[in-house]
Amino acid sequence: MMRLTIIGGGPGGYTAAFAAAQAGMEVTLVEAARLGGTCLNAGCIPTKTLRASADALETARRLAEFGISCEGTPKVDPAAVLARKERVRGILEEGLAKACARNKVRVLRGRGRLLDARRVEVSLDEGGVEVVENDALILAAGSRVLELPGMPFDHERIISSDDALNLDRLPERLIIVGGGVIGCEMAFIYRAFGVQTTVVEGQGRLLPMPSVDADVSSLLLREMKKRRIACELGSTLRDVRVEDGVVRGVLAASPFVSGGTPRKEVPVEADMLLVTVGRAPATEGLGLKEAGVAVDERGWIKVDDMLRTSLPQVFAVGDVLGPQRVMLAHVAAAEALCVVDTLCGKPRAMRYDAVPSGVFTSPEVGCVGLSEQQAREQGIDVRCAVFQMRELGKAQAMGELPGFFKLVVATDGGRVLGAHIVGAHASDLVAEAALAVTAGMTADQVAATIHAHPTLAEGMYEAALLARKA
């Protein structure tokens, strides 16, 4: 029986553990903190739980639009929101623990360190040290928040995204440094809670990732402005300091944007500063260098197409691979299944060209495949079709009008290369688009698929019709 050791109990780690155990392997899962990793404890699930509270509050404020009368003004109770978030997290963590027991996965609570490719030393939380011998090893240690030199976290006034998910009080004024996924999600959440919010982004647009279409960024900026979320694009914050319980700094032009109109430096202040500028590998103490596991200049683990590290029978999945791959929970899980298949004698490489992503702003964003700019930069002749969310009967009935469906289609053959959806439930709607990209479907084939009416999914059908005619 093959002995598999996994370091890290996040989506990559527990997915590998369950699949390997079901394939007949003897599995040991080493976790230094809580099962579920960043996703369950300080990322996906807590953020979406707060988002649900924000959505409920915004709906309550709009009840009159739906013919519902309600006395009093709805307001947020931060402590109750936090308690609900912890209940949800706890339920899911307990579910993972039960799944480990059900699949006979041995869980060691403690910090793992590689001695070599065949041995892991675990410093147990309960005291003592255990050396676990294995035939194969998967590194799934994840990532941690990145701290900027000029904005060190004090966890009270200058906070990380981890801190922002555990606030039992709300600041009156909040500055968010970083207009990426986390920064944008937090901006909409805390603005819905009544916080005066400003987003400072060094690039010239929100969500400045190549995989996110520029049209998505433009719509999201408009929606932020509607909610009076201030957006300072092409800007940076410097000279940050905390004085008399207030965060002060200077808003200046960003070095990442050239050719724009020089901006005047402006002093700014807030009650809290939330820094959301990226992640760093959570590999401290793993003994990678001593064991001979190759990493890049930033500490991310290097792997080949089969997710093998520089050591034989040692693999790595998830966030420890860094931004050169795709740092998403479901990608870590998919990578884990590729590794388990390889260990079972059915090797397959991870496919990254059809990974769907969701951004839980208001409205939501769902993307998969190539953006229009990516396609053109690759020299692919494409046509794009855009269908507005407000043209759908279901969107009108729901009162959810902002958004669109954008398809990027190859001119030659009509294959769907990418889809970018903004609007209500976009993170759910993108699943159909992901299937189309994965299967190599054409716009004709999507348009030939009957979509139920009235649904938001009809937007994919309508966009496909437009792409076929373009």
CATH, residue 15: 3.50.50.60
pLDDT of amino acid 165: 94
Please report how many Cα atoms fall inside a 13 Å half-sphere around the Cα of residue 162, on the Cβ side.
15
Q: Where is the domain boundary, 343, 374, 398? A: 343
CA distance 249 to 241: 6
What confidence category does residue 262 fall into, taking pLDDT thresholds of 50, 70 and 90?
A: low
Residue 290 carries which DSSP code? H
CA distance 5 to 139: 9
Residue-wise pLDDT for 347-391, tens only, equals 999 999 999 999 999 999 999 999 999 999 999 999 999 999 999
pLDDT of amino acid 260: 53
Is residue 92 in some structural domain? yes
Q: Domain range holding 376?
A: 357-469
Number of domains in the chain: 3
pLDDT of amino acid 256: 81
- Average pLDDT score over residue span 295-309: 96
- Average pLDDT score over residue span 437-451: 97
pLDDT of amino acid 469: 73
- In sequence order, the β-bridge partners of residue 231 are 199
Residue-wise pLDDT for 105-161, tens only, equals 999 999 999 999 999 999 999 999 999 999 999 999 999 999 999 999 999 999 999
CATH code of the domain in which 417 resides: 3.30.390.30
Say if residue 104 is in the same domain as residue 19: yes
Residue type, 120: V
Say if residue 324 is in the same domain as residue 202: no
pLDDT of amino acid 423: 98
Say if residue 292 is in the same domain as residue 267: no
- Average pLDDT score over residue span 313-327: 95
What is the average pLDDT score of the chain? 95
Is residue 348 in some structural domain? no
What confidence category does residue 468 fall into, taking pLDDT thresholds of 50, 70 and 90?
A: confident
Residue-wise pLDDT for 56-67, tens only, equals 999 999 999 999
Is residue 153 in some structural domain? no
What confidence category does residue 71 fall into, taking pLDDT thresholds of 50, 70 and 90?
A: confident
Say if residue 384 is in the same domain as residue 397: yes
Is residue 425 in some structural domain? yes
Q: Which residues are catalytic?
A: 453
Is residue 151 in some structural domain? no
pLDDT greater than 90 at residue 70: no
Q: Where is the domain boundary, 236, 253, 277? A: 277
Non-local CB neighbours of 422 within 8 Å, separated by 6+ positions: 216, 219, 220, 363, 364, 365, 366, 389, 402, 403, 404
Closest listed residue to residue 418, CA positions, set 383, 379, 455, 444: 383
Say if residue 267 is in the same domain as residue 287: no
Say if residue 21 is in the same domain as residue 120: yes
Say if residue 322 is in the same domain as residue 234: no
Is residue 150 in some structural domain? no
Task: Specify the pTM.
Answer: 0.94
Closest listed residue to residue 405, CA positions, set 373, 432, 375: 432
Say if residue 62 is in the same domain as residue 196: no
Q: What is the SS3 assignment for 329?
A: helix
Say if residue 458 is in the same domain as residue 409: yes
Q: Where is the domain boundary, 277, 303, 335? A: 277
Say if residue 205 is in the same domain as residue 141: no
Tokens 């938001």, residue?
A: 456
Segment among 86-95, 182-191, 259-268 with least mean pLDDT: 259-268
CA distance 94 to 86: 12
CA distance 93 to 31: 13
Angle, CA of 104, 105 and 108, to the nearest 5°: 135
Residue-wise pLDDT for 205-216, tens only, equals 999 999 999 999
pLDDT of amino acid 261: 56
Is residue 59 in some structural domain? yes
Neighbours of 75 (CB within 10 A): 10
Say if residue 170 is in the same domain as residue 27: no
* Contact predicate 279/144, CB 8 Å: yes
Is residue 380 in some structural domain? yes
What confidence category does residue 282 fall into, taking pLDDT thresholds of 50, 70 and 90?
A: very high
Say if residue 38 is in the same domain as residue 129: yes
